[in-house]
Amino acid sequence: FATGRRVPPPLRDALQVAGFRPIAPQRPGFGLTDPARNDYVSTAADDMAAILDGLGCPAAHVIGREGGAAGFLAFGVAHGDRLLRGL
């Protein structure tokens, strides 16, 4: 979910067993994050790209769940070349 810092343990464990490294970014303005200055959906998409940059990761598989779906879809539109697969 967009407001959570954690991937639910059963999902996290299954992803790790499959060889993935799950990361759950928070939506701008939630938790310890700064509020978005403009549209939070496009800010969330750009934040996801910045996370990949920081990790030195050119592209990723992304799961957009519940309230995080809008940011995930915006990431796919704005940074589609960095999206390996989406769910």
Element of type H or E holding 80: none
- pLDDT tens sequence across 58-79: 999 998 877 778 888 999 999 9
- In terms of phi and psi (left: phi > 0; alpha: psi -120 to 50; beta: otherwise), the region of 73 is alpha
The CA-based angle 27-33-36, given to 5 degrees, is 65
- pLDDT tens sequence across 13-63: 999 999 999 988 877 777 777 787 888 889 889 989 999 999 999 999 998
Quickly list H helices, 1-87. 9-17, 40-55, 69-78
